[in-house]
């Protein structure tokens, strides 16, 4: 009897601090944000109505979805190429691939965005070089537009896209690949008809993670988009700090959470969470 | 036994991706050596003036010290909370484990910008009550960073607990150890590596946190990433390039040391 009671008490005492902290510092203020979306500037559904009619908000939503889709395709394909070598290469190749994946992964988003500014800006590395070899006379516009945003975001997300792919590739039975090769299938054919289909769960997981991450991206678009290709996250920032329209900023946040929640629900219905990690 | 290795096409494609991944990190090196006050490629001579300004300009030093303080405090706080919570889950396996863990992981899954708005709401509400804990204070930033890092710390500690053999805990329990003794003298010594990793990751995440920090600071609590952000948005200060080079070098060194340690220990 004493055992059961102290077990319950022990569990409650150990788990309470974190749960209490997150309820007070996260769940409660989130409900406050939801309240803002219904009460500022006037009580009612006005802010949600504005989302449906405001041209600016709509164009930002569409741009965000478009950029997220392109970034997902670019990052998953690039991640696939490097993961193949990371998982199945010779030990030396693996080490190099791991270095190229983990170093950018651990470097801050600001440093990485700044690196792209240094490469792509009008007086950056690429334009200086192209002009010095006489290939172009005027600098190309590579940042402060959607191109820069897509490049920077893909760069940020490739390491995240790698991990689900790597776990799918690691769990794959090598003998199947060897059997296909042994039966005379070419490298290309083995790759496309055996290897890729067997990593399906990894591709889905990697695409979902990349897509969900890119929907809420703030820093990279703000720096590489230069205020010209604003995405949802930056719009929320602008609504809260520049135009002050807290109600609209809050309403966009709520819509974003609901949208991401729905996407995750679909993901976890098709792929078991264990297959992702 | 033969193995299935990537062919030449795979290797070329992977090399291109590797180049893409490393390119922006290498690009900051020449920029950091420019003698100009603006962001340009050095044309003739090289200069270390931007490295010097990192030490001489008090703004950089102040924000480095502030980021260190916030990082240490928030990492200690979130690791302690994550550890007690994970011990509770592992030792008692409560009925709603999946739900409780899911709730704790929310700040990691919710788009960061929404967490930022949420924490902005929290800290501006607190600001009305007390002046040293709310919006634009270092304690406020440390608390917000703890919210953002605690899911990562929890995941790491839960993962290392999941690799622990339950029988050692059962043995301790059978021999009459109390909950406190089981936790501190049996379980924690066995997940030391996981706890240290959780604390380190929390520190690093706080040290480079910008998305949330932007929403909850204005002029007083200027962390290092916040100062870099200001320098990146207005006219670009090449001191950022010098700082980036230093941060990249530290990252590479830490990863190299870690991979040596992992190789010696022979595990993760």
Q: Tens of pLDDT along A179-238?
A: 998 898 888 888 899 999 999 989 998 999 999 999 988 999 999 988 778 899 999 999
B194 lies in some domain: yes
**pLDDT at residue B221 is higher than 50:** yes
Q: Which residues 68-87 in chain B show a CB within 8 A of chain A?
A: 80-82, 84-85, 87
Cα separation, A237 vs A109, in Å, equals 18
Number of C-beta neighbours around residue B233 at 10 A: 12
Cα separation, A80 vs B162, in Å, equals 29
B230 lies in some domain: no
pLDDT of residue B5: 83
The pLDDT tens digits of the residues spanning A223-277 come to 998 877 889 999 999 988 888 888 889 999 999 999 999 988 887 776 555 544 4
* Mean pLDDT (chain B, rounded): 89
B106 lies in some domain: yes
pLDDT of residue A143: 84
Q: Does B263 touch chain A (CB under 8 A)?
A: no
Residue A5: CA count within 13 A, CB half-sphere: 2
Task: With CB atoms and an 8 Å threshold, state whether B119 touches A25.
Answer: yes
Q: Does B176 touch chain A (CB under 8 A)?
A: no
Chain A, chain B: beta-carbon pairs less than 8 Å apart: 269
**pLDDT at residue A9 is higher than 70:** yes
Q: Would you place residue A154 in the very low, low, confident or very high pLDDT band (cuts 50, 70, 90)?
A: very high
What CA–CA distances, in Å, run from B197 to A224, B206, B266? Answer: 32, 14, 16
Q: Would you place residue B93 in the very low, low, confident or very high pLDDT band (cuts 50, 70, 90)?
A: confident
In sequence order, what DSSP letters do the residues of B16-46 get, joined into one string? HHHHHHHHHHHHHHHHHT-SSSSS----S--
By CA distance, what is B242's nearest residue in A? A111
Task: With CB atoms and an 8 Å threshold, state whether B22 touches A103.
Answer: yes
B118 lies in some domain: yes
B53 lies in some domain: no
Cα separation, A187 vs B9, in Å, equals 10
The pLDDT tens digits of the residues spanning B238-247 come to 888 899 999 9
pLDDT of residue B50: 84
Contact partners, residue A270, CB within 8 Å, separation at least 6: A204
Domains of chain A: 54-276 (1.10.3720.10)
Q: Would you place residue A28 in the very low, low, confident or very high pLDDT band (cuts 50, 70, 90)?
A: very high
Look at B265 and A34; give whichever has higher pLDDT: A34
Number of C-beta neighbours around residue A150 at 10 A: 23
pLDDT of residue A166: 94
Quick one: three-class SS letters along A32-53? HHHHHHHHCCCCCCHHHHHHHH
Whether the CB-CB separation of A90 and B213 falls below 8 Å is answered with no
Question: B106 lies in which domain range?
Answer: 58-225
pLDDT of residue A245: 85
Minimal Cβ distance to A85: which of B14, B100, B259: B14
In sequence order, what DSSP letters do the residues of chain B get, joined into one string? -------HHHHHHHHHHHHHHHHHHHHHHHHHT-SSSSS----S----HHHHHHHH-HHHHHHHHHHHHHHHHHHHHHHHHHHHHHHHHHHH--TTHHHHHHHHHHHHHS-HHHHHHHHHHHHHHHHTT-SSSSTTSHHHHHHHHHHHHHHHHHHHHHHHHHTS-HHHHHHHHHTT--HHHIIIIIIHHHTHHHHHHHHHHHHHHHHT--HHHHHH-SSS---HHHHHHHHHHSS--THHHHHHHHHHHHHHHHHHHHHHHHHHHT--
Whether the CB-CB separation of B10 and A84 falls below 8 Å is answered with yes
Task: With CB atoms and an 8 Å threshold, state whether B28 touches A240.
Answer: no
Task: With CB atoms and an 8 Å threshold, state whether A93 touches B41.
Answer: no
B43 lies in some domain: no
Task: With CB atoms and an 8 Å threshold, state whether A216 touches B113.
Answer: yes
* Mean pLDDT (chain A, rounded): 88
Q: For residue B152, list chain A residues with Cβ-Cβ distance below 8 A.
A: none
B25 lies in some domain: no
In sequence order, what DSSP letters do the residues of A151-204 get, joined into one string? HHHHHHHHHHHHHHHHHHHHTS-HHHHHHHHHTT--HHHHIIIIIHHHTHHHHH
pLDDT of residue A271: 59
pLDDT of residue A10: 78
Cα separation, B219 vs A268, in Å, equals 42
Q: For residue A264, list chain B residues with Cβ-Cβ distance below 8 A.
A: 109
By CA distance, what is B79's nearest residue in A? A18
pLDDT of residue B234: 66
Query: Length of chain B in residues, anyone?
Result: 268
Q: For residue B126, list chain A residues with Cβ-Cβ distance below 8 A.
A: none
**pLDDT at residue A57 is higher than 80:** yes
Task: With CB atoms and an 8 Å threshold, state whether B117 touches A253.
Answer: yes
Q: Does B13 touch chain A (CB under 8 A)?
A: yes
pLDDT of residue B46: 80
Instruction: Give the ipTM of the model, two decimals please.
Output: 0.89
**pLDDT at residue A63 is higher than 90:** yes
**pLDDT at residue B6 is higher than 90:** no
Task: With CB atoms and an 8 Å threshold, state whether A29 touches B94.
Answer: no
| Nearest chain A Cα distance for residue B161, angstroms | 15
Q: Would you place residue A173 in the very low, low, confident or very high pLDDT band (cuts 50, 70, 90)?
A: confident
Q: Would you place residue B2 in the very low, low, confident or very high pLDDT band (cuts 50, 70, 90)?
A: low
- Which CATH number goes with the domain that contains B136? 1.10.3720.10
Cα separation, A79 vs A99, in Å, equals 14
Q: For residue A103, list chain B residues with Cβ-Cβ distance below 8 A.
A: 21-22, 25, 248, 251-252, 255
The number of folded domains in chain B is 1
pLDDT of residue A276: 44
Of A60-64, A272-276, B93-97, the range with the lowest mean pLDDT is A272-276
| Nearest chain B Cα distance for residue A67, angstroms | 16
Q: Would you place residue A1 in the very low, low, confident or very high pLDDT band (cuts 50, 70, 90)?
A: very low
Q: For residue A98, list chain B residues with Cβ-Cβ distance below 8 A.
A: 259
B92 lies in some domain: yes
Cα B188 vs. chain centroid, distance in angstroms?
Answer: 22
Task: With CB atoms and an 8 Å threshold, state whether A32 touches B143.
Answer: no
pLDDT of residue B268: 47
Of A154-163, B29-38, B109-118, B178-187, the range with the lowest mean pLDDT is B29-38
Site from B111, B120, B162, B234 to mutate, A interface, most A CB atoms within 10 angstroms: B111
Whether the CB-CB separation of A215 and A232 falls below 8 Å is answered with yes
Q: Would you place residue B217 in the very low, low, confident or very high pLDDT band (cuts 50, 70, 90)?
A: very high
Cα separation, B138 vs B223, in Å, equals 9
Look at A134 and A101; give whichever has higher pLDDT: A101
Task: With CB atoms and an 8 Å threshold, state whether A114 touches B241.
Answer: yes
Q: Which residues 208-227 in chain B show a CB within 8 A of chain A?
A: 208, 210-211, 214-215, 225
pLDDT of residue A267: 76
Q: Would you place residue A174 in the very low, low, confident or very high pLDDT band (cuts 50, 70, 90)?
A: confident
* Two structure tokens written together for A235: 């719009």
Task: With CB atoms and an 8 Å threshold, state whether B82 touches A18.
Answer: yes
Q: For residue A236, list chain B residues with Cβ-Cβ distance below 8 A.
A: 113-114, 117
pTM of structure: 0.89
Q: For residue A99, list chain B residues with Cβ-Cβ distance below 8 A.
A: 255
By CA distance, what is B243's nearest residue in A? A111
Task: With CB atoms and an 8 Å threshold, state whether B244 touches A111.
Answer: yes
**pLDDT at residue A128 is higher than 90:** no
Percentage of residues in chain A having pLDDT higher than 90: 52
Site from A24, A25, A80 to mutate, B interface, most B CB atoms within 10 angstroms: A25
pLDDT of residue B129: 82
């Amino acid at each position: 009897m004493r055992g059961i009671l102290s077990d319950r008490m022990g569990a409650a005492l150990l788990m309470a601090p974190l749960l209490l902290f997150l309820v007070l510092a996260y769940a409660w203020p989130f409900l406050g944000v939801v309240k803002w979306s219904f009460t500022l500037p006037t009580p009612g559904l006005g802010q949600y109505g504005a989302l449906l009619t405001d041209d600016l908000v709509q164009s930002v939503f569409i741009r965000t979805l478009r950029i997220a889709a392109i970034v997902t395709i670019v990052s998953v394909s690039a991640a696939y190429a490097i993961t193949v070598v990371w998982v199945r290469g010779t030990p030396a190749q693996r080490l190099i691939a791991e270095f190229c994946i983990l170093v950018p992964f651990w470097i801050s988003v600001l440093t990485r965005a700044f690196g792209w500014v240094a490469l792509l800006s009008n007086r950056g590395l690429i334009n200086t070089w192209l002009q010095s070899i006489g290939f172009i006379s005027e600098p190309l516009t590579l940042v402060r537009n959607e191109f820069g945003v897509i490049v920077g975001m893909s760069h940020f997300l490739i390491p995240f896209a790698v991990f689900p792919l790597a776990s799918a590739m690691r769990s794959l039975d090598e003998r199947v690949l060897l059997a296909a090769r042994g039966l005379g299938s070419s490298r290309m054919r083995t790759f496309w008809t055996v290897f890729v289909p067997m990593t399906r769960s990894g591709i889905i997981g990697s695409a979902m993670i990349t897509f969900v991450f890119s929907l809420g991206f703030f820093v990279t678009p703000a720096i590489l988009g230069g205020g010209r290709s604003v995405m949802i996250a930056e719009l929320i920032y602008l609504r809260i700090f520049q135009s002050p329209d807290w109600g609209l900023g809050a309403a966009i946040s709520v819509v974003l959470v609901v949208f991401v929640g729905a996407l995750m629900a679909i993901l976890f219905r098709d792929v078991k969470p264990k297959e992702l990690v | 036994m033969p193995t299935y290795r990537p062919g030449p096409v795979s290797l070329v494609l992977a090399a291109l991706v590797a180049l893409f991944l490393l390119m922006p990190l290498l690009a900051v090196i020449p920029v950091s050596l420019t003698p100009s006050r603006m962001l340009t490629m050095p044309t003739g001579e090289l200069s270390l003036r931007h490295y010097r300004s990192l030490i001489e300009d008090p703004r950089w030093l102040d924000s480095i010290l502030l980021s260190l303080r916030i990082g240490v405090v928030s990492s200690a706080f979130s690791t302690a909370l994550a550890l007690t919570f994970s011990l509770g889950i592992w030792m008692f396996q409560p009925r709603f484990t999946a739900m409780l863990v899911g709730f704790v992981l929310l700040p990691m899954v919710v788009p960061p910008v929404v967490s930022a708005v949420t924490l902005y709401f929290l800290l501006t509400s607190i600001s009305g009550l007390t002046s040293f804990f709310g919006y634009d204070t270092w304690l406020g930033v440390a608390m917000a960073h703890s919210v953002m890092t605690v899911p990562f710390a929890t995941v790491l500690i839960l993962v290392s607990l999941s690799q622990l053999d339950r029988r050692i805990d059962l043995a301790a329990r059978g021999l009459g150890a109390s909950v406190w003794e089981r936790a501190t003298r049996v379980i924690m010594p066995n997940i030391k590596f996981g706890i240290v990793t959780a604390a380190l990751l929390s520190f690093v995440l706080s040290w480079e946190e910008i998305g949330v920090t932007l929403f909850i600071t204005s002029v007083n609590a200027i962390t290092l990433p916040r100062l870099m952000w200001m320098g990146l948005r207005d006219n670009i200060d090449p001191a950022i390039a010098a700082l980036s080079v230093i941060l990249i070098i530290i990252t590479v060194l830490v990863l190299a040391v870690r991979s040596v340690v992992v190789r010696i220990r022979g595990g993760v």
